[in-house]
């Protein structure tokens, strides 16, 4: 029984190895960097983030002023007024923390806005990659910019520029950075 199983596995392995598979990789961050809509979306997100950060810093200043005033007056205040002011400070801090979560939390406003602006571009890239893979017969396309580690990648298999062209974009300034990055990384590996 073991021999039959081993022969079966060997035949399956030979079958898979006899079929030539085409592999390629893309750098989605490089592709995004060469899409003008991404740069505009990123600028819009940065502006919103700064605006909301200023709003939060203003609230932090209010809480600090309230706390400092409380510290200064605490010795002279009756217990019931002390308690009332402590509660006010506590409520302000709670409101501040809620605002931070609302703006920058896991499912906060910034996350939602990023999804609204960036997700369509990511979907567009994914569809272009899928179409390219189907048309050109690639079995697997890796993303070099993600968490996948590629220790070595021959530049001839990098299809990032082709994806950009298929989407109707051309490589811009990022292509110069990319070519210098890949030449630096190949020099450092020697």
The pLDDT tens digits of the residues spanning 6-42 come to 445 545 554 555 456 788 888 888 999 999 999 999 9
Averaged confidence pLDDT in the chain: 81
CA pair distance 171, 160, nearest whole angstrom: 9
According to DSSP, the residues that pair with 158 across neighbouring strands are: 25
Question: pLDDT tens digit string along 166-175?
Answer: 888 887 655 5
Query: Residue 108, class by beta-carbon neighbours within 10 Å (0-12 exposed, 13-18 middle, 19+ buried)?
Result: middle
Query: Residue 62, class by beta-carbon neighbours within 10 Å (0-12 exposed, 13-18 middle, 19+ buried)?
Result: middle
Q: Is residue 148 part of a domain?
A: yes
Q: Is residue 10 part of a domain?
A: no
Question: pLDDT tens digit string along 62-72?
Answer: 999 999 999 99
What is the pLDDT confidence band of residue 155, given thresholds at 50, 70 and 90?
confident
Cβ distance 132 to 97 under 8 Å?
A: no
| pLDDT for 150 beyond 70 | no
**By residue range, what is the domain housing residue 136?**
16-188
Q: Is residue 7 part of a domain?
A: no
CA pair distance 129, 141, nearest whole angstrom: 8
Of the candidates 142, 122, 134, the one whose C-alpha atom is nearest the C-alpha of residue 35 is 122
Q: Is residue 5 part of a domain?
A: no
Question: Against a cut of 0.85, is the pTM above it?
Answer: no
For the chain, how many structural domains are there in total?
1
Q: Is residue 54 part of a domain?
A: yes
Q: Is residue 34 part of a domain?
A: yes
Q: Is residue 162 part of a domain?
A: yes
Burial per residue of 30-49, b for 16 or more beta-carbon CB atoms within 10 angstroms, e otherwise: bbbbbbeebeebeeebeebb
CA pair distance 22, 63, nearest whole angstrom: 60
pLDDT at 181: 46
Q: Is residue 2 part of a domain?
A: no
Query: Residue 129, class by beta-carbon neighbours within 10 Å (0-12 exposed, 13-18 middle, 19+ buried)?
Result: buried
Mean pLDDT of 163-167: 88
Question: pLDDT tens digit string along 79-129?
Answer: 999 999 999 999 999 999 999 999 999 999 999 999 999 999 999 998 998
Instruction: Quote the distance between the C-alpha of residue 127 and its chain's center.
Output: 18
């Amino acid at each position: 029984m073991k021999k039959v199983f081993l022969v079966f596995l060997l035949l399956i392995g030979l079958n898979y190895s006899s079929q030539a598979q085409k592999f390629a990789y893309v750098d989605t961050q490089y592709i995004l960097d060469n899409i003008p809509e991404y740069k505009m979306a990123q600028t819009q997100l940065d502006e919103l983030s700064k605006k909301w950060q200023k709003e939060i810093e203003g609230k932090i200043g209010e809480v600090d002023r309230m706390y400092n005033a409380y510290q200064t007056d605490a010795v002279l205040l009756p217990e019931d007024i002390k308690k009332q002011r402590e509660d006010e400070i506590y409520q302000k801090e709670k409101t501040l923390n809620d605002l931070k979560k609302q703006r920058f939390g896991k499912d906060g406003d910034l996350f939602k806005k990023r999804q609204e602006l960036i997700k369509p571009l990511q979907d567009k890239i994914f569809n272009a990659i899928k179409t390219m893979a189907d048309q050109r017969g690639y079995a697997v396309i890796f993303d070099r910019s993600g968490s996948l580690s590629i220790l070595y990648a021959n530049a001839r298999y990098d299809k990032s520029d082709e994806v950009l062209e298929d989407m109707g974009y051309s490589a811009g300034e990022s292509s110069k950075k990319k070519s210098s990055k890949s030449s630096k990384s190949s020099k450092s590996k020697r």
